[in-house]
Amino acid sequence: TVYLGSCNIKKTRHSVISALIAHIAGALSAVYICRLIF
């Protein structure tokens, strides 16, 4: 991708997987925190 190419990262497989996991974890934690507050 553009961002990984600009940082000269050649092996993007693990970084893409970890980025997806982090995105899902962030979305789930946002839903959980919003349900606690509201």
- 35 and 24 Cβ atoms separated by less than 8 Å: no
Both structure tokens of 30? 């946002």
For residue 2, which phi and psi values (nearest 5 degrees)? -65, -45
- The pTM of the full predicted model, rounded to 2 decimals, is 0.64
Q: What is the pLDDT of residue 27?
A: 97
DSSP letters, 2-32, are HHHHHTT----HHHHHHHHHHHHHHHHHHHH
Please report the pLDDT score of residue 16 as a whole number: 82
The identity of residue 7, as a single letter, is C
What pLDDT, in 10s, does the model give residues 1-38? 566 667 777 777 777 888 899 999 999 999 999 999 98
